[in-house]
Every structure is written in structure tokens, then in C-alpha cells.
Amino acid sequence: MFFLFAGLLFSIMSFSQSIQPKMMFNEGLKGYEVDGKWGFVNEQGKVVIKPQFDNIGWFSEGLCAVEINGKWGFINKKGTIVIQPKYGFARAFYNGYSVVVTNDLWGAINKKGEETVPLKFKKRISNFINDTAMAIIDTIGYYINPKGEIIGKVEYPR
């Protein structure tokens, strides 16, 4: 059953990238663009973080992924960089973890910026739900824990 949910999660993640959530309010802030740089305004329209980022995600769990010079890291709601930009891409935090990608290798970090799942997976990793995510190794799906350890194999319905 989890596999079906994880498969659905992969589909939702692909779809969600096309709806531009940075243009919606998340945790009271919404992205806005000026001359190709992104910043944030609050619900009253007041600039909270001036446009300075090449690209942005959306705030989740108090942090937001931002792109600077082709690398992704995270800022807090004051605009302070709390996880240095060093990833090729970073997803929003979900259940305390962000899935990150560099050189086509997938892993996960915690809110301290520690790589809890080493960047070693060659395919997507789902978000963590109850400290479990799905990862693909070669063509086989596995369940992993937040340390990147395999804790089970995905059983496909027949």
C-alpha cells in the first residue's frame, strides 16, 4: 500500500513543480520577482525579504529553498542563509527532511544541513513519511530510513 502512495507522491511532486507554489502564500510569505531576482512579501504586501535570489521554492517548516549562482540552499523567514547553497536542487522540507540532488545523486538533509541520507541514490527519493521514504536502486524500489539505510523492499502488486 505504501508503494502505491509513494508512486502517487512521485506523480504529485512532478505536477506540483508546474503550478509554481512560490507564487502562493506559504507560512505567510509569497515570492515575487523583480528584474529576474526573487524575494518575499507578507500577506499585507510588505517586502520582507528583498529580491536577491535566482530562484526560490516555498516556505515549509520555517525554511525555504533558494538558488544562488546555480546552487540551492535554504533561508529562514528573515532571509538569512541557514544552509549554504551547494546542491543542484533541493525540495521543500517535509517531516524534518529535504530531498537534495547533486550531480544526479539523490540524498536528504535535516534542518541543520546535515546529510542524513548520503548523496548516493541514482534515482528519485520520495519525501519522508513516518521516517520512511522510497528510493530506487538500479530498477528496484526500496524503503529507506533517514540515515539512508535500506529497511525493506517494495513489493509490487501482481
pLDDT above 90 (res 46): yes
Lowest pLDDT segment from 8-12, 17-21, 116-120:
8-12
CB atoms within 10 A of CB 56: 24
Lowest pLDDT segment from 25-29, 34-38, 106-110:
25-29
pLDDT above 70 (res 11): no
pLDDT in tens, 76-129: 999 999 999 999 999 999 999 999 999 999 999 999 999 999 998 888 899 999
Residue-wise DSSP of 33-83: EETTEEEEEETTS-EEEEEEESEE---BTTBEEEEETTEEEEE-TTS-EEE
* Residue 26 to residue 31: CA distance in whole angstroms: 9
- pTM comes to 0.81
* Residue 87 to residue 158: CA distance in whole angstroms: 38
| Helix or strand run (H / E) with residue 40 | strand 37-42
Task: Measure the N-to-C terminal CA separation of the chain; round to a whole number of Å.
Answer: 12
Comparing C-alpha atoms, which of 137, 157, 139, 138 is closest to residue 149?
Answer: 137
Model pLDDT, residue 22: 67
pLDDT above 90 (res 44): yes
Q: Is 76 exposed, middle or buried (0-12, 13-18, 19+ CB in 10 A)?
A: middle
pLDDT above 90 (res 3): no
pLDDT in tens, 48-78: 999 999 999 999 999 999 999 999 999 999 9
| Helix or strand run (H / E) with residue 7 | helix 2-16
